[in-house]
Chain A
């Protein structure tokens, strides 16, 4: 316990240098701008910054990336409130109550509440991150090749299940497509090159960052440019700083949303958007002012913003301890960590125990930066929202090209970006979620390698995959998850419970 506190103090002290503080300030501010601009998502912002932080020291690079991530998830709320367009997908739930509040002339109050809720949400998540991550890392040390196979499969499945709002089948398909993309190139067990069709660039496989810049950058540009109507910015001059009594009144909602957000974050590949929707739905069910939801409820706004921000620290839990990304942006962070020689996974706490607490410190410091910027820079941020998209998107596409080229310096990666951008856009238009696809690309190798390595160890006998205690629980959960996603079975299952409830009542 005290070891943890000492490491945490060390983590914070590590970043209390002028260089770090300057990096925190500009990176968080850049993140807020990235989040506020429709067409630039948090994932895209982090992916682009990986290029720029390439030459930085590892701790500063991760600091900058995390600050951009945290800032962007918060920044989206500005656009949601003032324009009724979510600046990032994470703030879609914020538009429901944020924009009606702005229409009622309470834009300042909405922005203030969004700021404090985001900060509080991150803090709730940070507490869980500091408590759960060391325990999970210790448990993960006993995971073997069999467990990692199930973990990879479970990650893609659950991400497909939860990110495709009402159609898990499309989520599964997206996940399968991602896993199949990961099959391209040299496999790690026998060093055999698969599906390269004689193209030498393909034998190295498809890199994650160009694929993500395409799926989250170009696809987003296409989605933004497709809209024919322009949105109008709403402004008002009311008080931005929220009253303490307002915050205290909704303390239960804040805490509940923070906890929901954190746990959504822990689930692999399920990100901020789901965290916000889940907290919003829970707040609505538990609220006394249910009729106000969707018409400018402060509680709804608080729930959505607390929920999406709490996902960030939550997502870092599996990211750091299992190398299983908790959200799409966390996937980019994993790639960035590898570039900088940090290996997330069960051994992280053994090899580099201070790193987890450095992440905690970064989250804490960027949260403070958000509160300061969010409550003070209302006018300058308004200017950002007034940039016409025709001009902005052209520049963003240039950044997509540079961002995907710069890491390995080959045009092939730019073509990968183009391909994933166009295909990603078409899939999104047909309501296929992007997160399982990306997760599939990352986890494909883990799944493939661990399945075949396990079979090699047992001379082709699959029994240990089903009988080892942790594996047993995992595959049962997977089977249950798939069964419940089949409408007929799900209906019967629910009927079973409601009948029991009827009899009891």
Chain B
């Protein structure tokens, strides 16, 4: 955690500095003769300065602490089984949200996503894989039920439009 804090601190300092620059260069609306203490960049500027300060404290603190395992433990956390599983979820979610939805009708996109999610996590990315045939039946059933139910419930019952 100590090394992760250092990386995060660097990120917060850079982010804070960028926002501070953005706030400083933000139009001061002199043409509209607003009071100089009420410029739009005032609060973002103060907040970003505070973020830089917090980033500095976080960074200094993590430099002073002795890191157990050092960079290696941070690296290990990034390539662990857990991280791999989380990445697979993000990948599936991205494909579904940015690719399938909008390109296919919502029910079809949803069915494909649910089917893929169940198969991937029950058969491949798991310490205890289940037989493919068993999972296939479940995944297909759940995909159809979810797609139909969500579409029906939201569009017919609650009158909400779907993507």
A8 near B: Cβ within 8 Å? no
A448 near B: Cβ within 8 Å? yes
Nearest neighbor of A418 in chain B, beta-carbon distance: B97
Q: Which of A218, A222, A401, A421 has the most CB of B within 10 A?
A: A401
Q: Which of B44, B98, B163 contacts A183 (CB 8 A)?
A: B44
Nearest neighbor of A395 in chain B, beta-carbon distance: B146
B interface, by DSSP: helix, strand, loop or mixed? helix
Contact B26–A391 (Cβ < 8 Å): no
Nearest neighbor of B51 in chain A, beta-carbon distance: A176
A414, B97: Cα distance in complex, Å: 8
Contact B48–A411 (Cβ < 8 Å): no
Contact B54–A194 (Cβ < 8 Å): no
A401, B106: Cα distance in complex, Å: 11
B37 near A: Cβ within 8 Å? yes
A430 near B: Cβ within 8 Å? yes
Contact B86–A222 (Cβ < 8 Å): yes
Q: Which of B27, B89, B126, B127 has the most CB of A within 10 A?
A: B89
A247 near B: Cβ within 8 Å? no
A227 near B: Cβ within 8 Å? yes
Residues on B with C-beta less than 8 A from A15 are none
Q: Which of B54, B81, B154, B163 contacts A169 (CB 8 A)?
A: B54
User: Could you give, for residues 149-177 of chain A, a 1 whenever the CB lies within 8 Å of some chain B CB and a 0 otherwise?
Assistant: 00000000000000000000110110011
Number of A positions contacting B (CB below 8 A): 60
Nearest neighbor of B7 in chain A, beta-carbon distance: A430
Contact B51–A394 (Cβ < 8 Å): no
Closest-CB distance, B63 to chain A (whole angstroms)? 14
Provided the pairs A51-B158, A177-B51, A192-B27 are in contact, do residues A398 and B114 lie with their beta carbons within 8 angstroms?
yes
A397, B5: Cα distance in complex, Å: 29
A249 near B: Cβ within 8 Å? no
Contact B101–A451 (Cβ < 8 Å): no
Which residues of B, 116-163, contact A by the 8 Å Cβ criterion? 117-118, 121-122, 126-128, 138, 142, 146, 150, 154, 158-163
Closest-CB distance, B84 to chain A (whole angstroms)? 9
A405, B42: Cα distance in complex, Å: 33
Which residues of A, 385-427, contact B by the 8 Å Cβ criterion? 388, 390-391, 393-395, 397-399, 401-402, 405-406, 409, 411, 414-415, 418, 421-422, 425
User: Could you give, for residues 297-339 of chain A, a 1 whenever the CB lies within 8 Å of some chain B CB and a 0 otherwise?
Assistant: 0000000000000000000000000000000000000000000
Contact B37–A452 (Cβ < 8 Å): yes
Residues on B with C-beta less than 8 A from A226 are 82-83, 85-86
Residues on B with C-beta less than 8 A from A411 are 101-102, 163
A190 near B: Cβ within 8 Å? yes
Contact A390–B117 (Cβ < 8 Å): yes
Nearest neighbor of B27 in chain A, beta-carbon distance: A192
Residues on B with C-beta less than 8 A from A391 are 118, 138, 142
Contact B29–A225 (Cβ < 8 Å): no
Contact B86–A425 (Cβ < 8 Å): yes
A274 near B: Cβ within 8 Å? no
B105 near A: Cβ within 8 Å? no
Contact A54–B5 (Cβ < 8 Å): no
A384 near B: Cβ within 8 Å? no
A459 near B: Cβ within 8 Å? yes
Nearest neighbor of A224 in chain B, beta-carbon distance: B89
Q: Which of B32, B82, B110 contacts A398 (CB 8 A)?
A: B110
For this complex, 5 residue pairs linking A to B, each with C-beta atoms less than 8 Å apart, are A172-B54, A222-B90, A390-B122, A399-B150, A456-B35
10 smallest CB-CB distances across A and B, nearest first, come from: A394-B117, A460-B37, A390-B121, A448-B43, A226-B82, A192-B40, A452-B38, A406-B160, A455-B37, A183-B44
Residues of B within 8 A of A (CB): 1, 4-5, 8, 12, 19, 22, 26-27, 29, 32, 34-38, 40-44, 47-48, 50-51, 54-55, 57-58, 61, 81-83, 85-86, 89-90, 93-94, 96-98, 101-102, 110, 113-114, 117-118, 121-122, 126-128, 138, 142, 146, 150, 154, 158-163
